[in-house]
A and B are shown apart, each in its own frame.
Chain A
Amino acid sequence: MTLLTVDNLHTRFETNDGVVRAVDGASLTIDRGEIVGLVGESGSGKSVLARSIVGLHSPGRIVEGAIDFDGVDLTDVSASTRERYRGTDIAMVFQDPTATLNPVFDVGEQIAESLRVHDDSSGQSLLDFCHVPLVSDRSRWRRHRERAIELMDQVGIADPEDRVDAYPHELSGGMCQRAMLAIALAGDPDLLIADEPTTALDTTTQARILDQLRELAAETDTAVLVISHDFGVVADCCDRVAVMYGGEIVERGPTDRLLESPEHPYTRGLLSCLLRADDGRDRLPTIDGTVPERFDGGPGCPFASRCSYGTDDCERRDPAVRTVGPDHEVACHELEAVRADDSPAAAGSPSESTPPGRPRADPSESVTRDRARADGSRTIDARGRSGSAGGSADRGDPILEARGVTRTYDLADSAIQRAFGDSRTLRAVDGVNLAVYPGETVGLVGESASGKSTLAKLLTGLEAPSTGEVRFDGEPVGTVADRTADQLADVGVVFQNPQGSINPRQRVRETIAEPLLERGWDSECRRERVRELLDLVGLAERYGSRRPHQLSGGQLQRVAIARAIALEPRVVVFDEPVSALDVSVRAQLLNLLADLQRRLGLTYLVISHDLDVVRHVADRVAVMYLGEIVERGPAERVFDRPSHPYTAALLEAVPRIDDGTDATRLEGPIPSGVDVPSGCRFHPRCPIAEPVCETDEPDSVAVGGVDSHCHFAQQVASRGVTEDSESPRDQSPDPPDTTTR
């Protein structure tokens, strides 16, 4: 039964630069108990569509169209009626749970509020909600708080009795998202809208939240609209998918059909950008260009500016919606031409030839100025891909190395606390050895709190190890403060969040020239070098005079990369370089990284929780858990035949656009580094833990070129990735995640 019908919806914002047509004629239906996915890049209008349905103030003005919810047109009712639907009938979960929970109220209060609203949505009194003594109905609030505990239990928050009093900052991101889910469910909504519900979360947590959404739809007949830029996420849990671009739904249909035979060039493009287990290290297909800042709203297909099949007709006339299969609709003029490129994989390739945001790959163009420091390692060409998996004999000496590095943090806040005997310490990194050899790419994976970012900080000298040493080129090096100018210039760093690492007031040019200035380059050389760098990272020269807020996330990350390579480092450390970006932008950036590595002979250390990214870029990987490296080895081998249960579990959690079999999920969150579990530190969460694991710390075991810290490494490697010994995956090297479509 259809619950929600959005019909030809138009939502507009008035801005200083004129009208933005964020939603421009979108139509969509959702049935009860159904999960529908809404996919598109940022700027495609999907969040605004969601907010329009919920009726939040920010979506601007709905100027046309209807939102029919259970027989009532929500665009046609009074504001107060609208308010009554919110929370109780239509609930929403937002992208960043830590930002959506109010930091100053405990979780229980925030859930209880929702329950209270649901109980009595018209009788909300400010004094009651502010718990003013005497006026406020204490016993009722107490009852709601108790129900809040039940709800928390229901959404999978462990120890809800304790957590009910916790403030958002005391909980992990995943836990916060569960709390948000509890808030949304408190109203017992008919429709739940989840806007990028897992984008800010670890893969393992993401998998469990998606499971939760699926259960919800199945058990309570709630309709769920999942919004994501990632087709993988949506494919993993949705019955039907709508693809949005330029404020319009360009294609919609059953998930399977869309995955198997996508029709719209945009859908094909999005699918082809996804990282696949089997695409090795090839260049990734991308979608030409970027989402325009605004769509003019005139006639024509919104995708025309980026579409390789576009004709004049496309720019003049709105494409009609055509039904191409059961419940499968597409809005495109040139379906025949598109179909002629038979496979969707090929559909991405026309754009592959020259993604505009990429440096013209001309190896003869000498961008690398003659370096002051002649260095043999520079001559290493590409990456010796085939050899990379092999022995270390031909690798030479490591360029960057951590030797028995440990980093602990004192948890006591003040001298007084310490004086009173609070000596708890957090072991973020615990005795790690890691070597990076010239010319290779090492990937470092793990959940948040696994210590991978701390390790990066230690290697780059942003922090000092508590014990152990970091070596560069065989020489022990200290922190940034102690390193020589040359040593500093040799290591570049790119962080996850470019907004945070780039001064918002500086122009792009100044940002990139910063390290040059510090190194004492004169203004002429700086200008010249900045021009080169902009070109290298594929930004047009005019971007030099822009300020950060005028750039998109992908462009900002390019600026960060330009700054990192400004002094021609030999090693670049990337901390989550692409995890905040759209899939299409991610593909472009990964291509850029590969180009730069090839042209400049760079050595990379790439840190990410995204296994697909690491698999795509890395020659060798190290998997980190609770401050230790639990498995390391050649990337292919580790990802195809993991020999540590943790790696296996991480791999299982990656959403796949395939079979959708129920995978094993890692139970519980990563424990804190304060009370490290005895024996194997993974044992509380390990699906195959044996008594011995609790007592004995496993040594490193070599399994076919891979080092694994597990008592049963051999068995894990031969068994495949499931915990269930009854149904061993066949011994083929194929992981369960082949996506050869």
Chain B
Amino acid sequence: MYLLYRSLTATVVLLGASVLTFGLVYLTPGDSAETILIQQTGHQPSQEAVESFREEEGLNEPIPVQFVDWLGSALQGDLGQSYYSNRAVTELLVQHLPATIELAVASMAVALLVAIPTGVASAVHHGSSIDAGSQLVALVGVSMPNFWLGYLLIIVFALTLDLFPVAGTGGLSHLVLPAIALGTGMAAIVMRLVRTSMLEVIDREYVDGARAKGLRGRIVVYKHALRNALIPVVTVIGLQFAFVLNGAVVIEVVFQRPGLGTLLVDAIFARDYPVVQGVVLVIAVLFVVTNFLVDLTYHYLDPRISLGGGTR
């Protein structure tokens, strides 16, 4: 029942996203056919060439027909050809997606691994120097733009200390600096949130109850308190994923990683619309999927939320 409901809403969201993606192309100024031909051939195309290109690509059909065509083939995994490289968009996506997911997951992991223990420690030792210190670090972390942090990391750890490679993809070592650059901002936000949320939970009676049972301090904090404190945090982590994808675009450029971000930026500059559409659609799908996962986690964390959507 719940899954049915969720899939319904997810479909609606995706449909909306695809309408927007599709419409995006038509909202951009300039005759795309002409621009593309200039780029492909290097000189001003003839009127006939433009016409035949339009005919070929179906650009003369009414827009709704084009949309349905596009959607139909998209559902079969065919997102068209890149205008530019003549490769299938799907192929390009498959090629670039792993690097981005890798980066997103790695930076999420960095963020959570740092943020949760620090946030908890900060709350448990509320008002101590640990608390003050991590608050300060969090402030710096939030205020630092990630591309700037990326360059800083490259200068210090790659160029000066030569601990990690400067750029590109490869083993885990290539992932470390970008993940830190991208994860720091999120770590700072999540840490603050964990702290606030823990502070609220730690005085609750059930925490005392758990202590009265004879549970060790660590179990009380990390099992009984944290589990409750994470409930509001999870929602924010889900939203943060949008920023991670956002930031991935920038960070991929900084570290020259061949991911969706680089692909998108290149495609935008090249007016390679099928690719732009493809990337945006993939991001939308990723978004819907993460939100779905967040919902599931949310329910797992808080049994009071019934799967029907309401609380009782």
**Residue ranges of A at the interface with B (Cβ–Cβ < 8 Å):** 54, 56-58, 83-88, 91-92, 94, 96, 99-106, 113-114, 117-118, 121, 124, 126, 129-130, 167, 169, 180, 183, 187, 412-414, 416-417, 420
Contact = CB atoms under 8 A, between A and B. Distances in A.
A86 B208 CA distance: 11
B212 A413 contact: no
Contacts of A106: 303
Interface string B269-312: 00000000000000000000000000000000111101011101
Contacts of A124: 215-216, 219
Contacts, number: 109
Given A102-B227, A117-B214, 8 more contacts: A57-B211, A87-B212, A102-B209, A102-B224, A117-B213, A121-B214, A124-B215, A417-B1
A57 B207 CA distance: 11
A84 to B, nearest CB: 7
A417 B309 CA distance: 10
A100 B216 contact: no
A58 B208 CA distance: 8
Contact of A417 (B212, B215, B217, B308): B308
A100 to B, nearest CB: 4
B5 A114 contact: no
B308 A103 contact: no
A96 B205 CA distance: 8
Nearest to B231: A104
B223 A126 contact: yes
Contacts of A412: 308
A413 B215 contact: no
A104 B303 contact: yes
A103 B206 contact: yes
Contacts of B75: none
A52 to B, nearest CB: 13
B177 to A, nearest CB: 30
Contacts of A83: 214, 216-217
A326 to B, nearest CB: 34
A347 to B, nearest CB: 36
B26 interface: no
Contacts of B204: 99
A125 to B, nearest CB: 8
A56 B212 contact: yes
A423 to B, nearest CB: 14
A180 B215 contact: no
Contact of A126 (B210, B218, B306, B312): B218
A132 to B, nearest CB: 11
Contacts of A99: 204-206
Given A56-B212, A99-B204, A414 B5 contact: yes
A419 to B, nearest CB: 10
A414 B5 CA distance: 10
Contacts of B303: 103-104, 106, 167, 169
Given A129-B219, A413-B310, A86 B212 contact: yes
Contacts of B302: 103-104
Nearest to B230: A104
Interface string B215-242: 1111100111001100100000000000
A56 B211 CA distance: 7
Nearest to B221: A126
Contacts of B206: 99-103
Contacts of A87: 212-215
B3 to A, nearest CB: 11
6 contacts: A94-B212, A100-B206, A102-B227, A113-B210, A130-B222, A130-B223
A94 B1 contact: no
Contacts of A126: 216, 218-219, 222-223
Given A413-B309, A416-B4, A416-B5, A183 B213 contact: yes
Contacts of A101: 206, 209
Contact of B209 (A100, A169, A420): A100
B215 A113 contact: yes
B221 to A, nearest CB: 9
A413 B308 contact: yes
Contacts of B304: 103-104, 167, 169
A416 B210 CA distance: 39
Nearest to B207: A102
Contacts of A58: 208
A94 B309 contact: no
A102 B308 contact: no
A420 B1 contact: yes
Interface in B1-39: 1, 4-5
B213 A86 contact: yes
Given A413-B308, A413-B309, A417-B1, A92 B223 contact: no
Contacts of B213: 86-87, 91, 113-114, 117, 183, 187
A97 B214 CA distance: 18
A100 B208 contact: yes
Top 10 A-B pairs ranked by shortest CB distance? A87-B214, A413-B308, A413-B310, A100-B209, A86-B214, A92-B212, A99-B205, A102-B206, A87-B213, A167-B303
B110 to A, nearest CB: 21
B310 A129 contact: no
Contacts of B216: 83, 124, 126
Nearest to B211: A56
Contacts of A129: 215, 219, 223
B116 to A, nearest CB: 13
B155 to A, nearest CB: 39
